[in-house]
Every structure is written in C-alpha cells, then in structure tokens.
Structure 1
Amino acid sequence: MDVVGAPAASRAKSKRWARHYRTLLQLSDVAIVTTTVVLAVVVRFGVTTDAAVTLAGHAIDYWLISALVALAWLFAIGAYRTRDARVVGVGSAEYKRIVAASLTTFGLLAIVFFVLKLDVARSFFVITFPLGVGGLTASRWMWRQWLTRQRKFGHYLSQAIVVGRRRDVEYVVRQIEKKSGAAYRVIGIATKNARESYQSIDGRSIPVVADIDNVAAVARELEVDVVIVAGQPAGGSHFIQNLGWDLEGTNAELVLASRLTNVAGPRIHVRPVEGLPLMHVELPQFEGGKHVVKRAFDIVVAGGALLILLPLFAVLAILVRTDSPGPALFKQERVGRNGRTFKMLKFRSMVTTAEDDLEGLLAKNQGAGVLFKLRDDPRVTEIGRVLRKYSLDELPQLWNVLVGDMSLVGPRPPLMREVEQYESHVRRRLFIKPGLTGMWQINGRSNLAWDESVRLDLYYVENWSLTGDLVIIWRTVQAMKQPTGAY
C-alpha cells in the first residue's frame, strides 16, 4: 500500500532520474557520433594526421571538418529534444526525433559542402550517416529496455497525482498501471469533495491526497513531478487555468488526459487566433497516398516472408496432418474492408467438425462481447494448442496480405456473425483492411474486455501510421515469445 508521506530522500531520487538518464543518453550519443565520424575519415584516408581538403586554394585539416560535423550533429540531436523526459522510454517520438535531427544535419551539410565545393560529403553520407542513425536508434532502444526493466521495480518513474471525476481518474490510473513502461507512478488522487482516505483501483489502494480545490498546495507539499488532469473536471477550463497558475514555482508539470480518446497527437494542431487557442483536429483519411505506401509495404514484407518461411510452412503442415485427420489449411469466411468478405487462411488448429460442434459450446462462451472464446476448447487439437499459443496458425494469412484481402497491421478480421451484432460505431472497424496483427494482439488478445478491444481497434483505424505499424510488428514479435491471451 502506498503511503502519502514518502520519505524526502525517495522524492529527491525520483526528481533526479530524468537528469541522470539524460546524461547517460548524452554520453551514448557522443560516443556513437564520434565513432562513426572518425570511421569515415579512417576509411577514406587511413590512420593519418595529414588528411586535408582544399577550400579556395587553402588546405583545411579534414579532422577539423570532421569535428565540426560531429558538433553540428550533436547540436541537432539536442535541439530536437531527443532526450526530453516527455518522449524517452515511451512511444516512437524519440526515434522519430533522432531520424529527423540526423536528416536535417546531413541535408544542411550537403548544401554547405556543395556551395563551398568541398569534396567531403561522400564518405560522410556513405558511412557516417547510415551507421550513425542505425547506431543512435539501436542505442536508444537498448537504453529503453534498461529503463523499462528499472521501471518494473519502481525506479526512474515520475511521481504523479491524478485529478478529476472519480470515473475519469480510475480510467487514467488503470491505463498507467497497465503499462510497465509507463513513465508515471501514481502516488495519490484528488477528487471533488473527497471523503475517503484511500481509493481501491484494481486491487491497489491509492491515497486520496486532496480535494480538487487544494491540489496545487498538496502537489507542492508532496513535491510531485506531475499533476495529471483526467477528463473534464468540475470547473472546466477555468479550473485548469487556475491550477496551472497555482503550480507555477513548483517542479510539477501539468498534464491533460484529453477526452479526445481516439485522436492521436499528430492529428491535433493548436492555432492561436487573437489570444484564442483553437484546436484543429484532422479528420481521418481512408484513401490516398498514405494507404498506397501501406499497400506497397504489405506486398514487399508479405512476399518476402512467404519465401523465407516456406520450409517452416512445410513442417507445420506435416505436423497438422499427422496430429489429426483433415487438411493442413483451414479456410474461413471473414469480413474485410467495407464489409467485403474473403476466405482467410490458417493452419488448422481444430478438428474438422469444429464448425458443427460450435452450437453445443455457445453456452460456455468465455469471450468478450460478440467474440466466442473458450479457454479449454475441446475442438482444439494437441498441435493446435501449440500453434495458437505462439500464433503460428495465423502465418498463412501472409497470403491474404499479399493478395490484398488483409494488411500486415489492422483490426482483427471478424466473422460475419460478429459483424451482424456490431453497434453502429463499431462498424468503423471495417473502414480499413483487417490485419495479421494489430492493437488487439499486442494488448492481451482474448483477455481484453470487448469495450477495450473496440477502443483499441477504432484508435488504430483513425490514427495509424507506417511508423506505428513498425512498432506494432516489433511488439508482436516480442509478444510471441511471451504469449498472453492466446487460446
């Protein structure tokens, strides 16, 4: 159980984590940038101190130019705030900023080298740029793994108070607690007319540290790092404005958990007009160039994966046929984009009479919402349990991706009987192609509540990006190693 009066030493430690972690990242960045720049010089001139280029008839030391390149790159990495505590450890923004800073640096350097007619750009672009970007990205990923492990033990977390109506507070706390890599540790909550000392949320007792009217004073007293406003509290924008004023002079940040729950950051733009901040929310687009790129990515990856995995397919097909009578592949009608049906392929993981046996099992359904799931389904074969646990039964869907029925990433492909029970808003899942993997698969699969499954799918439908798809694919590979909710 958490105690409100945390020791001062513990609070001081939580405030030092960002500075300490930023220093580690900075040292890592300097080492990688320096190494790749030096490597470019050595590859071109060998190990020598006499390397030089000519500018306006004057010889300029190549090592001096290399040092300027390294300094410019490190300056850009800092200027793009790639080590900001708001982006490190969570999401893809950190990686995007690294790539953007590198592209900006080398783009400007290319222009400068061209204008000054310095013959130095080739080695930097061929060696330094790709190795440097790869090294920086890989190092950030490794540091993130270390940070995630530390956070599982309660280290390197910003201490937070969550403020708002009880329902909104509970939702925000659950979302933070659900992710081991989340940046916050909730040490207290504040609600209107609070009368209880503790609030139980999913078995964890969290102190009610303040009434909504004295949040700033308590935040100052507890020396918290973050005050999170959940939803729209009583008092609305005036409350948020006053809370921001009251928090001035403290070390606490003010964070708003927006009620635009299905709108991702890149779709939100703030445009001030005569002191009035207008929030522009881009409407989701379901056609256009971005979808063409997604389709091209699907074809390349699915085609390559099918060729590479052919030997594995042959082995799995033999195991399925040997384990129980019937074909190796199972075809089932699923609903795709805009309600169009298609035959989805899977390695058969059930007996051949599975569809006929379903009627007698409906009363035992353990699935959420319209889904039928049974943890110990008697129709599943022995090899089928293994295939399902590690999602190997779904590999033939790469063919569905290649021919255009599905995408690598997207909402779960539903059955027609499920679609017939959809509420109107749930049908938005059908605005894009279903996916071989997606938000559902990496967040618990069959263990998810139906409302949460719908929320994740709708969020993806409206906010997907190619970078986000790459992150989901990576997390899918990780999830296959430690499967959760797969049965």
Structure 2
Amino acid sequence: MTIEQVTHELQLVERRSPEARRRRWERKYRIVLPAADGLAAAVAAFVIHGAYGRWGVALGLPPTWIIAMCAHRAYDRSALGLGTEEYRRVLRGALALPALAACGYWFFARDSGLLHDMMMAAAPAAAIALLSRYVLRRRLHRRWAQGRDQRTTLLVGPSLGVAELIAVLRRSGVQELRVAGVCLTDPENAQAIKKLGLSVHGGVSDLSGVIRATGSNALVVLPAPEFDATVVRRMSWTAAAQGADFLLVPTLADVAASRLATRTTNGVPLTYVQAPTLSRASRLPKELLDRALATALLLVLAPLMIAIALVVRLDSSGPALFRQRRVGLYGDHFTMLKFRTMRQDAEQRRADLAHLNENSDGLLFKMKRDPRITRVGSALRRYSLDELPQLMNVFSGHMSLVGPRPPLPEEVDAYTPEVKRRLLVKPGLTGLWQVSGRSDLPWDEAVRLDLGYVDNWSLGLDLLILIRTGSAVIRGTGAY
C-alpha cells in the first residue's frame, strides 16, 4: 500500500493548523465554560456569605475554583460534550478545592474562618458547575441533532469495519460525527458502502486531497491488515498537515475510557486495558446501595403498587402478581415478580403465536400487538409499571437496580459461551438495553449492550442509567 508524500513545510502547517480549522462550537464552549465556572463559584460564595456573613470567600473562591478546574483538565478538548469524563473532572476538582484552601491558609492568610468557608463552598460550587455543564451539553446535543456544529469526518478502512462503525453510530442517537466520505482499503466493495448513503473516494493513496475536498476536520482510521505502523504514521502526518484531528478506532470495542490508559515501555506506547471489576468486594457498595434504594422505593411506592394490584384483579381473572423462574448471578435460579399483564392462558397460547414473533433474530419472544395482553396490562407495560414488584427481588438480593435483563432458563440453555458473561453480574430492573430502545433492539445489539455493561460496570454508569431510565419510561419507546 502506498501513501502519498506528506509535505511539512512551515507555511502549509500554519495555514492548515488544527487551531485554524477548529469547530466554532468548540471555541465558544471553551470560552463559556470558565465563565460559567466563575459564575458558579461566585453564586456558591454568596450562598456561604449568606450562611456565615463573611465576604472573604467571595474574593478567593472564583479564581481558586477555576485553577482547580484547570489543574484537573476540565477544559480539555477530549472531555468536552460527550461521556461522563467531563463531569468526573469537575468532581475531582471539587475534591481538590479543600486542599487548595488549606494551602492558601498555611502560606498566605491564617484565617480559619476563610478556610472553613472555602471548604463549605465546594459542594454548592460543584453542584452549580455540573448543572451549567448539563445545560450547555443539552444545547450542544440539540444542535448536533439538527445537523449543526458536527465534526466533519472522513473514515478510512475496510468496508466491513466501516459498515459496522456506521451501524453503531446510527443506533446511538445524537452524534458529534458527520461522515463526509470514506476511503476504502478494498475499493472493490464500494457499492456496499454506497448503499449506506455514504460517498466513497477510492482508496487511501490520496488522503490529503480527499480531506481537502470533503472539508473534513477529523480522520478516523479503522483497523486493517494493511495498516502497519509506517502506514498509520504517514496518515497521521497527512491529517496534521491538513489541520484534521487523527483518531484510531481500537481493535477492542465497547471498552469504557475509564478502563484505558497509555503506558510507555522502552519508548513504545502501549494501551493498558484494566480488567473488569467483577469481584464481590468491588460490588459491595452497589449491593448496599441497591438494598437501601429498594427499601426506600418500596415504602414510597407501596400505595401505588396496592392500587395497581387491585386494578389488575378487577380487569381480568387471575392473580395480581405474575411469578416466573429466571436466571440470576452465576446461573442461579430465582422467582421474578411482576404485575400480571397477560391473560391466564398466555403460556399455552404462545406456541400458536410463535410464527408472529417479531424478534426472530434472537432468543426473545416479542409482539407489538400481542393478543394475550390485557387492557390494563398494555398501559402497565408502556410505562414499565409492571416491573415495580421486582423491587422486592432487589431487596431480597436476587436482582440489582441496574443490570442485564433477567433471562429465562431456556434462553440461557441456548447461550453461547460469550453470551454467558451476562451472568457474571446480577440481572437488573433497568439496564443499558432498556434505556436504548428495549424491545425495538435486535438481539445482537441487546447482547452487545449487556456485555458492555458487564465489562465496564461502575457506580457512575449505574447512576447514568438510572437517570436515563426516567426519560425512557416516559417516552415508552420499545415497550410492548
């Protein structure tokens, strides 16, 4: 494979530097963020002043807060707009604020009142800063959804890898990337990529011209046997000369950024992938949080659950609760509880409806207009109210608030060894597949999401899924 010569004349690099071609939203975002942080710190300082009647913190907090954010790279390009890393850096900066305040107390002003106020201001400053970032990101994502402020991207790699990446991007909702074209290592398969609505610009021998012609400000390279170290290095030079960001798609997919780190051994940069945290000790905080939240929710929702049980009994004959054997952690069986949403003869009629299964690509049986569902059951399913009794499964320790869908024993019998990794964590009341489309998702995508959750689990990810669950339930997408 040949790659065109890359010219690194000073004039060319300066004229097409990344700074010159950087997206306008990014420049504005990095200007607005420090201003928003300064305002958050000022508001927090006045809150503390109102509580304790001292003005010193109003002068010291805003610059100290911005210094803490800079020290923890809260304005770094890699953390802007996507993922949870932006929020994590704000929280780390908030935790560092008391240390900065202590240093200021020791070296500058021996004022214990000022030290106390600075420490107390960390929590409200962090809360306001996180809220401002959330508002800014929501606005940015709306603009991306409208096709504005996106990163114009050129993909380079084999047709199969390009098709898989495009499928993932299109399933993921709002996207930062707008694919302007593709350069293939196997141009003979260009027709398959054109069917996806993408422009194919031949091979990879003239990247510089393609980047220039498409106006791309990002070059995304997928793994390919043809791409050895020399070829990848030359492509990075080409991207730099054209002022485009250079991104490599990792061979190992569905790995959270928090599990990745770069180590240098004898001058060779190596990507370190942290092992999944699946030990009992690492899951102890999750267990305690699950039991505590399940207990609180059961107490708060008890009147609603009693009312639903009465309505289910009045709507059709049969018990209010539906009990079914499911498979949990490490393959152990347990009895899962739900409000009954089907008629009593539902299991007997399933064989007659097998030919209408709309999830024929996997192990699940789903129908959008299942005649076995009762009138009340349809409403309960739409808003996931039928799942509320599973809080008792969470309380008893058989389930978690967040995790993969609890499978049936016959489904597990058909699992491949790879899919059985879903059983390394407790099944959940909600999970990545529920907040990503539920029954509308194909089986392979549901498995991919569940395995990604198993490998990348963290309390932060659980919290994010719980937050997203509310909007998914209100929309009712994929609930049937």
Is 2:154–2:220's contact at 8 Å kept on the other side of the alignment?
Answer: yes
Q: Secondary structure at the match of 1:291?
A: helix
Is 1:216–1:247's contact at 8 Å kept on the other side of the alignment?
Answer: yes
Instruction: Report the Cα offset of residue 350 of structure 1.
Output: 0.4
User: What amino acid is aligned across from residue 122 of structure 1 in structure 2?
Assistant: H
> What residue in structure 2 maps to residue 408 of structure 1?
401
User: What amino acid is aligned across from residue 432 of structure 1 in structure 2?
Assistant: V
Is 2:240–2:246's contact at 8 Å kept on the other side of the alignment?
Answer: no
Is 2:309–2:321's contact at 8 Å kept on the other side of the alignment?
Answer: yes
Is 1:264–1:463's contact at 8 Å kept on the other side of the alignment?
Answer: yes
**Residues 106-145 of structure 1 aligned to structure 2 (within 5 Å):** 106-113=98-105, 117-119=110-112, 120-126=114-120, 128-145=121-138
Instruction: Report the Cα offset of residue 197 of structure 1.
Output: 7.8
Question: Aligned residue pairs: how many?
Answer: 458
Q: List per-residue Cα deviations over 1:154-196 (Å, max 9, x = no partner).
A: 1121111111101111121222233333211111111125368
Q: Secondary structure at the match of 2:418?
A: helix
Q: Does 1:31 align with 2:39?
A: yes
Q: Secondary structure at the match of 1:278?
A: strand
* Backbone CA RMSD of aligned residues: 2.1
User: What amino acid is aligned across from residue 41 of structure 1 in structure 2?
Assistant: H
User: What amino acid is aligned across from residue 316 of structure 1 in structure 2?
Assistant: I
Q: Secondary structure at the match of 1:205?
A: coil
Q: Secondary structure at the match of 1:424?
A: coil
From 268, 286, 289, give the equivalent of 1:294. 286
From 24, 37, 52, give the equivalent of 1:16. 24
Is 1:445–1:485's contact at 8 Å kept on the other side of the alignment?
Answer: yes
> What residue in structure 1 maps to residue 15 of structure 2?
none
From 307, 310, 315, give the equivalent of 1:315. 307
Q: Secondary structure at the match of 1:91?
A: coil
Q: Does 1:285 align with 2:293?
A: no
Instruction: Report the Cα offset of residue 394 of structure 1.
Output: 0.6
- Structure 2: segments with no counterpart, 5+ residues: 1-19
Structure 1's 347 and 161: CA in aligned 2 closer, same or farther, altered over 3 A? Answer: same
**Residues 43-442 of structure 1 aligned to structure 2 (within 5 Å):** 43-45=51-53, 63=56, 66-113=58-105, 117-119=110-112, 120-126=114-120, 128-194=121-187, 205-232=197-224, 234-367=226-359, 368-442=361-435
Q: List per-residue Cα deviations over 1:13-50 (Å, max 9, x = no partner).
A: 982121122223232222111121233234322xxxxx
Partners of 1:38 and 1:389 lie apart in 2 by 45
Is 1:262–1:459's contact at 8 Å kept on the other side of the alignment?
Answer: yes
Structure 1's 290 and 230: CA in aligned 2 closer, same or farther, altered over 3 A? Answer: same
Q: Secondary structure at the match of 1:207?
A: coil
User: What amino acid is aligned across from residue 163 of structure 2 in structure 1?
Assistant: E
Instruction: Report the Cα offset of residue 221 of structure 1.
Output: 4.2
User: What amino acid is aligned across from residue 314 of structure 1 in structure 2?
Assistant: I
Q: Secondary structure at the match of 2:336?
A: strand
**Residues 442-481 of structure 1 aligned to structure 2 (within 5 Å):** 442-481=435-474
Is 1:163–1:228's contact at 8 Å kept on the other side of the alignment?
Answer: yes
Structure 1's 155 and 199: CA in aligned 2 closer, same or farther, altered over 3 A? Answer: farther
Q: List per-residue Cα deviations over 1:342-387 (Å, max 9, x = no partner).
A: 0001010001111222222222221241111122111111111111
> What residue in structure 1 maps to residue 10 of structure 2?
none
Fraction of identical pairs, as percent: 35
Partners of 1:72 and 1:148 lie apart in 2 by 30
Is 2:403–2:425's contact at 8 Å kept on the other side of the alignment?
Answer: yes
Partners of 1:254 and 1:139 lie apart in 2 by 30
Partners of 1:146 and 1:350 lie apart in 2 by 42
Relative to the length of structure 2, the TM-score reads 0.90
